[in-house]
A and B are shown apart, each in its own frame.
Chain A
Amino acid sequence: MWDWSTFFHYLHSFYLIKGAGISLALSIGAMAIGLLFGTIAALMRRSRHRLLRGPASFYVWLFRGTPVLVQLIIIYTGLPQLGLKLGVISSALIGLGVNEGAYLAEIIRAGISAVPRGQFEAARAIGMTRATTMRVVVMPQALRIIIPPLGNAFNGLMKTSSLASVISMEELLRRTELLIQVQFKVLEIFIVAALYYLVLTTLWGFVQQRLEAHFSRSVTTSDRSRGRAPQTATLGLNQAVLSHDAT
Chain B
Amino acid sequence: MTPPDDARLMVEADGIHKYFADHHVLRGIDLNVRKGEVVVIVGPSGGGKSTFLRSLNHLDAPDQGWVRIDGELLGYRSSNGGMVAVSDAILSQQRRQIGMVFQQFNLFSHMTALENIMSGPLRVLRSDRATAEDEARRQLALVGLEDKAASYPEQLSGGQQQRVAIARALAMHPKVMLFDEPTSSLDPEMVAEVLQVMLDLSRQGMTMVIVTHEIQFANKAADRILFMDEGQIVEQGSPAELVSNPRNERTQKFLRLVMGNI
| Residues of chain A at the chain B interface (Cβ within 8 Å) | 116, 118-119, 121-130, 132, 136-137, 140-141, 144, 218-222
Contact at B110–A122, with CB atoms within 8 Å?
Answer: no
**CB distance A122 to B155 under 8 Å?**
no
**Does the CB pair B59–A136 fall under 8 Å?**
no
User: A136-B123, A221-B155 in contact; A127/B92 too (CB < 8 A)?
Assistant: yes
Question: Which residues on B are within 8 Å of A, measured CB to CB?
Answer: 57, 59, 88-89, 92-93, 95-96, 98-100, 102, 104, 106-110, 119-120, 123-124, 152, 154-155, 165, 168-169, 172
B99 shortest CB reach to chain A, Å: 8
The answer to whether A124 and B154 touch across the interface, beta carbons within 8 angstroms, is no
Q: Are A119 and B109 in contact (CB under 8 A)?
A: yes
Instruction: Give Cα A116 to B154, complex, Å.
Output: 14
Q: What is the bound-complex CA distance between A222 and B89, given in angstroms?
A: 37
By beta carbon, the residue of chain B nearest A135 is: B123
Q: A127 and B106 in contact (CB under 8 A), knowing A121-B59, A222-B155?
A: no
**Contacting pair A123 B108 (CB below 8 A):** yes
Residues on the B chain within 8 Å of A144, using CB: 110
**Inter-chain contact B123/A125, CB cutoff 8 Å:** no
Given A122-B107, A125-B102, A129-B92, 12 extra CB contacts under 8 A: A119-B109, A125-B57, A126-B120, A126-B172, A127-B92, A128-B92, A128-B123, A129-B88, A218-B110, A221-B152, A222-B152, A222-B154
Q: Do residues B168 and A126 form an inter-chain contact, with CB atoms below 8 A? A: yes
Interface of B is mostly: mixed
In the assembled complex, the CB of A125 is this many whole angstroms from the nearest CB of chain B, namely: 4
Contacts of A126 in B (CB 8 A): 95-96, 119-120, 124, 168-169, 172
Across the interface, which residues of B come within 8 angstroms of A222, CB to CB? 152, 154-155
A219's partner among B98, B102, B109, B120 (CB-CB below 8 A) is B109
In angstroms, Cα B92 to Cα A123, docked, is 10
For A141, the chain B residues whose CB sits under 8 A away are: 108-110
Of A124, A132, A218, A220, most buried by chain B (CB within 10 Å of CB) is A124
A128 touches B59 (CB 8 A): no
Bound complex: CA A124 to CA B96 (Å): 9
**A residues in contact with B107, CB < 8 Å:** 122
- B152 x A137 contact (CB < 8 A): no
CA distance A123 to B122 in the complex (A): 12
